[in-house]
Amino acid sequence: MEFEDIEKKWQKKWFDARIYEAKKEKQKKFFIHFAYPGISGYLHVGHMRGFTYSDIIARYKRMLGYDVIFPAGFHATGLPAVSLAKKVERKDEKTLQYLRSNGCPEEIIKKLSDPTEVVKYFSNVYVEQYWKKFGFLIDYTRLMDTISPGYKKFIQWQFYKLNELGLLIQKPHYAPYCPNCGPVAVDKSETDISQGGDAEILEFVLIKFKMDDYILPAATLRPETIFGVTNMWVNGSEEYVIVRVGDEKWIVSEKAAFKLEHQMDDVEILDRIHGSKLVSKKCVAPIIEKEVPIFDAKFVDTSVATGIVMSVPAHAP
């Protein structure tokens, strides 16, 4: 007999016997759950390994006579479903090939530009193509997702209660954000998994150097080294822009201006200036009121922080 035939035989017997359902009987109760998988696409063996641990424990407890309740759910409110839908919408070739190579029908692919369709399709895929085929004795009468009306009401109730207890505060908070996808990532694991899923927030201190009517904000991880500054570095081959930030005019790289626009409210791009125009000029360091020259350096990466670097021998470039 083929192994697949044996597999299907026992899967059907388990399912027909409905032994996965909690019986609401009087014996000891046991509840088990695994973390909801995010709707990010097809699952891999690492996911299944984690789910298997829960299934083994549930089966063992049933053998000991416990009335086991083993529900399952789908994490549909994070970035992954939205990100996948956006990629389908803009016809990202890698994403379309990924879906086709995993057997997703063309008529389904056309619908996946809608995040709710992503959730609907992959929730069914997880149940039918993974959990049932692995023989997981999940209670399939107790499936849920985080965007169902009942679940959302439950989350709202939790927050109302936390607020009543004075446990919630509101304050500025920076989080990974994609201008294409829109929603904020709660942590780096929610960022684009195709890029590694490890986007991190880098926090710099900006030190404002004065140059005529402009501010050159140098980004640093060591602001206390300002007392040893000897000069400033810019990339003379790159474009910079003049931006209004509040009542000040800053000169930063183009990429820095883009980031500022998404991190601050009062930012406006006024003009452009080539990096070569800044080379050989002088600016004044704050606190120590020291005039320092501006030099050209190809090692200045304008995609990092402001694209302007202060030089402190033994501590920085």
Bridge partners for 242 per DSSP: 251, 271
CA gap 90, 292 in Å, rounded: 48
Per-residue pLDDT of the chain (317 residues; tens, 9 = 90+): 688 888 888 888 888 888 777 777 778 899 999 988 888 889 888 889 989 999 999 999 989 988 899 999 999 887 788 888 988 998 989 999 999 999 999 999 999 999 999 999 999 999 998 998 888 889 988 998 999 899 999 999 999 999 999 999 988 777 776 666 555 655 555 555 555 555 677 788 999 999 989 999 999 888 898 898 999 999 988 899 999 998 899 999 988 888 888 888 888 888 988 989 889 899 999 999 999 999 999 898 888 899 999 998 876 65
| Angstrom distance (rounded) from CA 241 to CA 273 | 6
Report domain extents, the chain.
3-164, 205-311
Contact status, residue 274 vs residue 237, Cβ threshold 8 Å: no
Give the homologous superfamily in CATH for domain 205-311. Valyl/Leucyl/Isoleucyl-tRNA synthetase, editing domain (3.90.740.10)
Q: Is there a contact between 230 and 292 (Cβ–Cβ < 8 Å)?
A: yes
d(CA 169, CA 174): 15
Sequence-distant (≥ 6) Cβ neighbours of residue 124 within 8 angstroms: none
Q: What is the DSSP letter of 173?
A: -
| Torsion, CA 51, CA 52, CA 54, CA 60, rounded to 10 | 160
CA distance 62 to 64: 5
Q: Which CATH number fits domain 3-164: 3.40.228.10, 3.40.50.720, 3.40.50.620, 3.40.50.2000?
A: 3.40.50.620
| The two domains 3-164 and 205-311 share their CATH topology (first three levels equal) | no
Residue 80 has a pLDDT of: 81
Measured distance CA(296)–CA(285) in Å, rounded? 18
Instruction: In whole angstroms, give the CA distance from residue 271 to residue 251.
Output: 9
